[in-house]
Structure 1
Amino acid sequence: MPSPLRSLLAIIQKSVDEIEGAYEKRGFDFPSIDEPPSERDTVRLDPSVQAATALLTSAAYQLIANAQAPQAHIFNVAFGFFLPAALRAAMETDVVEILREAGPQGMHVNEVAKKAQVEPRKLSSIMCYLATHHIFREIEPDVYVNNRLSSVWDTGKSLEEIKSNPLEKFDGTNGIAALIGHNGDVVYKGAGQIANHMMAPDTAFEDTPERSPLMLAVGYDKGSVWSWFEEPSNELRLRRFGIAMNGINSLQPPDEILKGFDWASLPKGSLIVDVGGGIGVSSISIVKAFDHLKCIVQDRPKVVANGIEHCKKILPDALSSGRIEYQGHEFFEEQPHISATVFLLKQITHNWSDRYVTRILRRLRDAAAPTTTLVIVDPIIVHPCPAPPSTIPGANLPAPPSPLLSNLSIANASTHFMDQNMFVHFNAQERTLDHLVELLASSGWEIVQVHRPDVSGGYLSQIVAKTIPVPN
């Protein structure tokens, strides 16, 4: 029997062969981390390449965990919190933009520090640490250039433009720089209070968003994270957060909502109520693809106003024809649309603890007809160990090759990052499928189908539920 190292190495070798084969089929070589983005990058979007990459990532991390001495591995993990801190430091000091302007010859850290107006030795320490993690490339001692990883958060703006309009630094960007800033600032503070929050008698069993680890960390007692963001001193944080969330959403194309639930099968004139639908990104995709459907987007009045303006730019005909409407509504209150064809909850339930989610779901159940469908779009936590198979269609994932973890470990880390994020921000969580089944059943809903976006379990799965008949 091969050793765990050999088994993992075999998975890595097979995955590399599949990935390189896909590139060769398109007439490309696999790009180096030091090469600029190019047409070759589209190959990464191939489902077979994504699946092979997930297996490779999982096996590579498990190989390291097996091979390293336990003390060394735990030591590296224990000090891993310095990485997001260093990322934020590099982002806030505009190092990527400075190096982009310097060109391929790079720039000495002393010159970078002079332009960034920071102390050279401190910046040198940060840059060396990041380059050790393959973020930036040191081409000679203390001389750095951007690589593919560092370039990901380039705002595309000049240093002069950023310095003259600091509040607008993240405007019009892909949101990754904003996400680094938010995580390295806000989430970092809240995460540091997780253990204290869990053990303190007055917060150990707390489930309200007003008493989350983040609120404990910043010493805020006037409300939840939303009111904290609206404090005058948090203008940049609030603006940055919005752009960061748009950046996360952009990781999936707007029409991703169309993959899974069979919207085309709905009868003409069917009504979809997009509960907490924000500016209507999902609803716009639905009515754009299916002109026989109507969507009503519900959210807070200020959000609804922004949504109307957004829709006027993206799909004005749908707005003027009434195929999409916007409505101010608080989802804890009575649902005004009785007997909707579909209630859609996209990235809503993970923002709330069970007690609050139950209230939302019961409001929808009270308004539902026997034929109403509920579609929830949220991550599903997958256990690292094998779990008993589910009888729900689409719920079971293919078993990865041994000895990989059932959830593909680091390849599926995003769901666990989000789980901790929900805890830190809102005292909420992502949920396992069993947890969702129990939660929905207690609210009058039965899960009848799960649509997984990929073999790892997926960042955003679609959970389809029907009403449980009320006994006569």
Structure 2
Amino acid sequence: MHTSSTNNDQTTELDALLQILTTQVASLQASYRTSNTTERIPSLLKLKNLETLGPDSDPSLNETRRLIVSAATQLIHTVQSPIEIVQDYAGSTFKTVALGFVVDVNIPEVIRDLGGEKGMHVDDISVHVGIDTSYIARVLRYLATRHVFKELTPNVFAHNRISILLCKRRSFEEIKADPISRFDDAPFAAHVHMFSDEILIETLSAFSEFLKQKDLSSESVKDGNPEDTSASGPQSSAGLGPRTAFNLKFNTSKSFWEWIAQPGAKYEDLARTVAVVMRGGDKMVDEGQLVNAITTAASGTPIDSSTTDITNLLPLVVDVGGSSGSATFTIKNKVLQDVSGIKYVVQDLERPIDSARKFWAENDPRAIETRQVELLVHDFFTSQPPSCQNASIYILRMIIHDWADGEAKKILKRLREAAYPPLPLSTQAVSPEPKTGPRSKLIVFDTLARYTCDDPRENLNRSGKEGSTSVPWPLLGNLGVAGEGFSTMMDLGTMVALDGKERTRDDFEQLGKETGWKLESVKPGKLAAFIFSAF
């Protein structure tokens, strides 16, 4: 909840915002001055090596940064003309297409490789990318006006700490020689390209029409049908049908994933870009968060095979929809490396498992040879195989948010059917209060959506730390764009393309209640870890 500043009639909203800015900026500057890097203060003009960000990547400064950004953003929206704010928001589409254009024609690499710190004149940029000078100047000036790129002298543009993120890992010459692989290992540039792709841009044009169809009689609004098996494909399409803005715009019953899997350069380019973005998302679950979540989940769950009474639980960790199994690799070799006798199963569809075979062959071939790790082709909308029954821990990482409630329930129900203790004959009679004794745990790594108002039920600091007090008045309860800007954008993105959603704690708790899982705790992080126990 907000602090008692709301009771001080002498303190105005502007005073409170300025106080937050003054205090937190001083704290940030002090952190930079005492760091072991040569940088003493953040600056737009100082470029960064993404591998050595120094204080920029210090997680202990996350709260400070978010408070600064939240207060600064609210200050702007408090003092700026509402007309100007609405005008800027109405034209925000141009931010997407402008970023997409410069990334698509490789302008960031041209400026980086050929201009350097001195920047590059638009006439010279034009020669290398084959676009008229005037158009390049206008697009770059639009972005520089919003602090992406820097105009050093008239029509001469250089990188700043924001625009440098648009650069791909490969040089401009390498990109010209092999344009197909240009986004490999460049998740930020790939992210921009994906959101500016014509398929997604056209999908957004159906946004309003799509929502108008979601009236109170809509099946997906009410609940969806988790038992529906009439979908035309496996987990990439189960239950979706023609009910998203994407389906509406392209008049297709194919899911987004099936659509981009079609043959043809247009689809293959987007599919490859999406794959890079998803691999970049793997890094959102760091080692510390895995340790925290697994340790909490394993409490009361005898995962060690040397334990005498495991009450039918197996020392088994199942990574459901686990892609290459990078999270399993970390759990096996860094989190539970000292726990004996555990078996690991990584499940996904055929193509991701093909990639997983390469990953494990390169990083831990013995785990496959000894069958400690099994790579299993499996559709998570179907029943778990016998080898994955009664596991100590099931893991779902960045899966649930891709699906509407009906499909999300089906995924969780299939896992609950495999978990221990067995479900009673009538799942409608399940008691939310489990009996004592070891039982299977489920860890869902996903985005935690937070309310913009005060939520007295939320015991996590909205800036990301457990056990802290409150967001200072007059900031939004979720810290606005500083706290939930990306997740609210992803919420609308998954909604129009997949009919998925980013969920609140209440949403996750309700999904668990309806599928036989009790939400025990939520661990914060870049992705929250929702820890459930079978009941």
Q: What displacement does 1:352 show?
A: 0.8
Distance (whole Å) between structure 1 residues aligned to residue 52 and residue 346 of structure 2 = 38
1:64 aligns with 2:94: no
1:308 aligns with 2:357: yes
Q: Unmatched 5+ residue regions in structure 2?
A: 1-9, 221-238, 306-314, 422-438
1:376 aligns with 2:408: no
1:317 corresponds in structure 2 to 366
2:524 corresponds in structure 1 to 452
| 2:347 aligned counterpart, secondary structure | strand
Instruction: Letter of the 2:480 partner, please give it.
Output: S
1:13-32 correspondence runs (5 A): 13-26=22-35, 28-32=39-43
Distance (whole Å) between structure 2 residues aligned to residue 389 and residue 244 of structure 1 = 34
1:353 aligns with 2:404: yes
1:268 aligns with 2:279: no
1:54 corresponds in structure 2 to 66
1:210 aligns with 2:245: no
Moved more, 419-428 or 200-209: 200-209
Moved more, 196-205 or 80-89: 196-205
> Residues 256-278 of structure 1, C-alpha deviation per residue, up to 9 Å, x if partnerless?
43333316755324211111111
Distance (whole Å) between structure 1 residues aligned to residue 376 and residue 515 of structure 2 = 24
Q: What displacement does 1:63 show?
A: 0.7
Q: What displacement does 1:318 show?
A: 2.1
| 1:104 aligned counterpart, secondary structure | helix
Instruction: Letter of the 2:361 partner, please give it.
Output: K
| 2:169 aligned counterpart, secondary structure | coil
- Of 191, 196, 206, which aligns to 1:193? 206
1:230 aligns with 2:243: no
CA contact (8 A) 2:282 2:326 kept: no
2:378 corresponds in structure 1 to 329
1:462 corresponds in structure 2 to 529
TM-score (norm 1): 0.92
State percent identity of aligned pairs: 27
Distance (whole Å) between structure 2 residues aligned to residue 47 and residue 105 of structure 1 = 32
Distance (whole Å) between structure 2 residues aligned to residue 358 and residue 189 of structure 1 = 30
Distance (whole Å) between structure 1 residues aligned to residue 104 and residue 188 of structure 2 = 12
Q: What displacement does 1:391 show?
A: 8.1
Q: How many aligned residue pairs are there? A: 461
CA contact (8 A) 2:247 2:253 kept: no
Distance (whole Å) between structure 1 residues aligned to residue 92 and residue 276 of structure 2 = 26
| 1:30 aligned counterpart, secondary structure | coil
> Residues 82-112 of structure 1, C-alpha deviation per residue, up to 9 Å, x if partnerless?
1011001111111111111222222111210
Distance (whole Å) between structure 2 residues aligned to residue 401 and residue 274 of structure 1 = 39
Moved more, 30-39 or 53-62: 30-39
Q: What displacement does 1:178 show?
A: 1.0
Instruction: Letter of the 1:144 partner, please give it.
Output: F
Instruction: Letter of the 1:300 partner, please give it.
Output: L
- Of 129, 147, 159, which aligns to 2:172? 159
Q: With a CA cutoff of 8 Å and minimum separation of 6, indicate the structure with the bigger relative contact order.
A: 2
Moved more, 239-248 or 126-135: 239-248
Distance (whole Å) between structure 1 residues aligned to residue 459 and residue 510 of structure 2 = 14
Distance (whole Å) between structure 2 residues aligned to residue 392 and residue 67 of structure 1 = 30
TM-score (norm 2): 0.81
> Residues 336-367 of structure 1, C-alpha deviation per residue, up to 9 Å, x if partnerless?
22211011111111111111111111111111
CA contact (8 A) 1:334 1:363 kept: yes
1:140 aligns with 2:153: yes
2:490 corresponds in structure 1 to 418
Q: Root-mean-square deviation (CA), in Å?
A: 2.3
| 1:157 aligned counterpart, secondary structure | coil
Distance (whole Å) between structure 2 residues aligned to residue 432 and residue 135 of structure 1 = 32
Distance 1:375 1:167, change over 3 A: same
Distance 1:174 1:159, change over 3 A: closer
Instruction: Letter of the 1:387 partner, please give it.
Output: D
| 1:325 aligned counterpart, secondary structure | strand
CA contact (8 A) 2:320 2:395 kept: yes
Instruction: Letter of the 1:229 partner, please give it.
Output: I
Distance (whole Å) between structure 2 residues aligned to residue 70 and residue 438 of structure 1 = 38
CA contact (8 A) 1:287 1:294 kept: no
> Residues 148-189 of structure 1, C-alpha deviation per residue, up to 9 Å, x if partnerless?
111112113232321222111112x23111111001114333
> Residues 225-245 of structure 1, C-alpha deviation per residue, up to 9 Å, x if partnerless?
111101223111111111122
Q: 4+ residue runs of structure 1 moved beyond 6 angstroms? A: 201-204, 391-397
Q: What displacement does 1:8 show?
A: 0.7
